[in-house]
Amino acid sequence: MRRIEGYVIVSADGMIADGNGEMPDFIRNAADQRFFQAGLDRAAVVVHGRHSHEGGPRAARRKRLILTRQVAAIAPDPSHANALLWNPAGATLEQALEQLGVTDGTIAVIGGPEVFSLFLPLYDAFHLSRAANAKIPGGLPVFTEVGPNATPEDVLARRGFRPGARRDLDAAAGVSLVTWER
């Protein structure tokens, strides 16, 4: 069985980082981190762009695919023993997973915007956390389509996802989670 799940925390205005590509501390939240890290612990592989990494004490154990155009197709990552560098223009996801030794289980996609967008046709579930008290004007949106005329929820709904029940992860901090599924 193979599943593809996305994980993100966005600001009230749908942003994941500021205009310099830095994720501000005010959208990080401990309860969301626990949910996120537990999800990654259950995953067979973590997938992200070259500037994103989940961090945390268990990160080094996880298998990962790091998207980059610096390789033609698939190459070892000299700085992460359990990782491969992957350019989707030169090799399919199946080829990259096979080379990494991943045959089944959950593929956890963790950003950034281009990577979240690339996987939109493929997610079984997208875990959208929101820090409702934070805004990041001029920031990086979760999906490239997000902007004045489209929220992250609009993008997911247009692609045929339906929202599950809203869960308060940290009510005092205004952080909640909705899992969208197809």
Ligand X SMILES: NC(=O)c1ccc[n+]([C@@H]2O[C@H](COP(=O)([O-])OP(=O)(O)OC[C@H]3O[C@@H](n4cnc5c(N)ncnc54)[C@H](OP(=O)(O)O)[C@@H]3O)[C@@H](O)[C@H]2O)c1
Contacting positions for ligand X (CB under 6 A): 8-9, 16-17, 21-23, 27, 48-52, 67-70, 87-88, 110-115, 118, 140
Question: Of 104 and 168, which CB lies nearer to ligand X in the complex structure?
Answer: 168
Cβ-closest position to ligand X: 49
Residue 38 per-residue DSSP state: H
Tracing tokens 């205004």 back to the chain, one arrives at 174
Quote the least distance from Cβ 139 to ligand X, whole Å: 9
Nearest to ligand X of 1, 38 (CB atom): 38
Q: CB of 170: closest distance to ligand X in angstroms?
A: 15
- Minimal distance in Å, beta carbon 11 to ligand X? 8
| Cβ distance to ligand X smaller for residue 7 or 104 | 7
Q: How far is the CB of 125 from ligand X (least distance, A)?
A: 15
Q: Is 136 helix (H, G, I), strand (E, B) or coil?
A: coil
The DSSP result for 45-90, as a single string, is: EEEEETT----STTGGGS-EEEE-SSSSSEEE-TT-TTEEEE-TTT
CB of 57 to ligand X, least distance (A): 18
Q: How far apart are CA 168 and CA 99, in angstroms?
A: 39
Q: Cβ atoms within 10 A of the Cβ of 178, count?
A: 17
Q: Which of 160, 111, 146 is nearest to 14 (CA)?
A: 146
Nearer residue to ligand X within complex by CB, 70 or 104: 70
Dist CA 118 CA 49 (whole Å): 11
Residue whose structure tokens are 């996801």 = 93
Nearer of residues 1 and 120 to ligand X, judged by Cβ: 120
